[in-house]
Amino acid sequence: MTTEDISGTTAEAGPAAVHEQSIVRVSGLRKEYGDTVALNGVSLEIGAGEAVAVMGPSGCGKSTLLNMIAGLDRPTAGRVHVHGEDLGAMNETGLALFRRRRIGMIFQFFNLIDDLPTIDNVALAAQLTGTPTRQARRRALELLDELGIADRQNVYPAALSGGERQRAAVARALMNRPALLLADEPTGALDSHAGEQVMDLLIDLNELGQTLLLVTHDQTLATRCAGRLVMMADGRITGERTLERSA
């Protein structure tokens, strides 16, 4: 696999460029849901090419942080910059465009569309940004091929295994060559073998230069895939450390 083939991230974001350029800059982030303070002053910077895992007890604000960085929800206070863009300065249309073009997301339960064959689930991500159908399907097929599931292109999600579904979801997330790949418990619904495959895939992508932010309860996933671990509790970052990737 080459960087261009799969992540589409160019050499400028390769391992040598780690930290030279911030992909994520979050400062003083606060998020309230009624009386609940989900985030209470979170600041975090992620350099190009980094793989960062966020861990912490249930309800500590991990998914809320991910959602703010993805522009899926707006903070009560604080700033989020992704790839140099200030999310707070964007209107809803701008945020939707930003998400489609700059962010790839994978979730525990894949979020594939049941009524679309695998290839169209993947291609749709590019079609929504205006890429012509033929071109989008061509890239979708290339990605499915790189991820080892090209033979499943015409199968509907219900007939895919868990690991194949997550691979399809990764392909969809990579369609628009995102600056940032966000993963929320990406192995949470998978058996150990499929989980291993998805971990290997995330490691490969990061080694090719893809910046990765991962939320997980799974210590193995964090230590295998990430180079930095950020610990959260009660809506705050309580510590962080560099990880030696355990291959």
- Residue 62 contacts ligand ATP per CB under 6 A: yes
- Residue 106 contacts ligand ATP per CB under 6 A: no
Query: How far apart are CB 167 and ligand ATP at their closest, in Å?
Result: 23
Q: Among 3, 2, 5, which Cα is nearest to 141's?
A: 5
Q: Each residue of 141-172: b (16+ CB within 10 Å) or e?
A: bebbebbebbebbeebbeebebbbbbbbbbbb
What is residue 171's three-state secondary structure?
A: helix
Query: How far apart are CB 81 and ligand ATP at their closest, in Å?
Result: 20
Give Dmax over CA atoms of the chain in angstroms.
Answer: 50
Distances, alpha carbon 246 to alpha carbons 29, 94, 220, 243, in Å = 32, 39, 9, 8
Instruction: Give whichever of 2 and 58 is closer to ligand ATP, judged by the CB atom.
Output: 58
Question: Contact 121/112 with Cβ under 8 angstroms?
Answer: yes
Instruction: Give whichever of 63 and 206 is closer to ligand ATP, judged by the CB atom.
Output: 63
- Residue 61 contacts ligand ATP per CB under 6 A: yes
Measured between alpha carbons, how far is 119 from 108 in angstroms, rounded to an integer? 20
Query: How far apart are CB 232 and ligand ATP at their closest, in Å?
Result: 7
Instruction: Give whichever of 38 and 190 is closer to ligand ATP, judged by the CB atom.
Output: 38
Query: How far apart are CB 67 and ligand ATP at their closest, in Å?
Result: 8
* Other residues' Cβ atoms within 10 Å of the Cβ of residue 26: 23
Contact string 3-42 vs ligand ATP (x = CB under 6 A)? ------------------------------x--x-x----
- Residue 187 contacts ligand ATP per CB under 6 A: no
Summarize as ranges the residues that interact with ligand ATP (CB under 6 A). 33, 36, 38, 56, 58-64
